[in-house]
Amino acid sequence: MRLSLEIEGNGSAFADGGETETARLLRQAANRIEAGHDCGNLLDINGNTCGAWSFEATAPESAICPDCGTWAEPDAIGQTCNECGRGIIEADEF
Ligand SMILES: [Zn+2]
């Protein structure tokens, strides 16, 4: 998966440099993620939309055999390992 998050720090809420407001917005997104949402807008302290975030599903970039540790192409996920003949290739999640 990938999390994209954009903040346009132009409003008066960011006038002091924006560190406090940016941290507040990240907490806002974190709370929404924890509550089970997968996208949302970010509202600055004045109630103005100043950004958005979203999770995107991404295809795994690599795969691995859990038995012998051999790397494999993502196409091989779910197939028996060619190296050891035992393991079932699975996505290598970071
Ligand atoms: Zn293997």
Distance separating alpha carbons of residues 94 and 89, to the nearest angstrom: 16
The whole model's pTM is what? Answer: 0.63
CA of 78 to the centre of ligand 1 (A): 12
Ligand 1 centroid from CA 38, angstroms: 35
Instruction: Locate all alpha helices (DSSP H) within the chain, ordered by sequence.
Output: 19-34
Segment 70-76 mean pLDDT: 92
Q: Are 63 and 77 in contact (CB under 8 A)?
A: yes
Instruction: Kindly give the distance from the C-alpha atom of residue 94 to the centroid of ligand 1, in angstroms, as a whole number.
Output: 19
Asked if pLDDT for residue 67 goes beyond 90, the answer is: yes
Q: Within 10 A of 70 (CB to CB), how many other CB atoms are there?
A: 16
Q: Per-residue pLDDT averaged across 3-21, rounded?
A: 93
pLDDT of residue 1: 79
